[in-house]
Homo-oligomer: A and B are copies of this chain.
Amino acid sequence: MIGPTTNQAMGQRPPTGPLDGMAGPLSRRLGVHAPLSGDDLAALSRLAVRETVVVAHTDLVRQGEPAENAFLVVEGIAASYVQRASGARQILALLLPGDLCDPDLAHLEHWDHGIATLSHCRIARVPRAALEELIATRPAVALALRRTKLEAEARSRAWLAALGIGHATERLLRLFREIIDRMHALGLADRNEGPLPLTQVDMAECIGTSTVHVNRVLQELRRSGMVELKGSRLRLLDRAGLDTLAGE
């Protein structure tokens, strides 16, 4: 009973084998931050279970629910968000392939935020116990997880500053840049072009403006030749100008 924009259909798939690639993005992501051994990688590949396909705009966890298990985004884009009684939502962070919704949250008795898919996603569950054990027994994995979390926190700080200081144009450009850059780091996008499977409503909830305004800013960016956005494909046409406009 959170808001009107949530539907709960969740297509279940038959359990898949441990090596069908769903741990791929996770280990690729973690491997960036610390060298992982073959054993580490094998353990990681056994971590994620019960992979499901989830349609866009579906809640995985709702605000106020008890904390059960963690989620891994295998494919697609999800997000953590806060929602008011009025229905207004603010997206806190994007979860891209290989991202694990914060493992430390186990200590919270109740979630103070929700998790929802933005695009079509493949989502795997990660049992708390298995995750804790992995952290306890595999220092390299634990280190990689810590560094990954530090990276997410740095992004969160940057977002907070952008929301406080920047105008809508800047914030939208930062959003685009973040998605392209992170996707590029995962090998899922070119340096200046990639998928952008978000609706304008999603973008508005990310950058804290109305959808109407997102639409107008977007048109201005297209007209000025800064970006190209057709269907769900985004191209950044003026990277230098973008980095200037988006603030340091």
Contacts and interface: CB of A to CB of B under 8 A. Distances in A.
Interface of A: 82, 84-85, 88-92, 104-105, 107-108, 112-113, 146-147, 150, 153-154, 156-161, 163-165, 205, 207-208, 247-248
A92 B146 contact: no
A89 B207 CA distance: 18
Contacts of A247: 84
A113 B157 contact: yes
Q: How many copies does the complex hold?
A: 2
A147 to B, nearest CB: 6
A82 B158 contact: yes
A157 B92 contact: yes
Contacts of A154: 108, 112
A157 B108 contact: no
10 contacts: A82-B165, A89-B165, A90-B164, A90-B165, A92-B161, A112-B158, A153-B153, A156-B160, A163-B164, A163-B208
A82 B107 CA distance: 29
A58 to B, nearest CB: 21
A160 B208 CA distance: 10
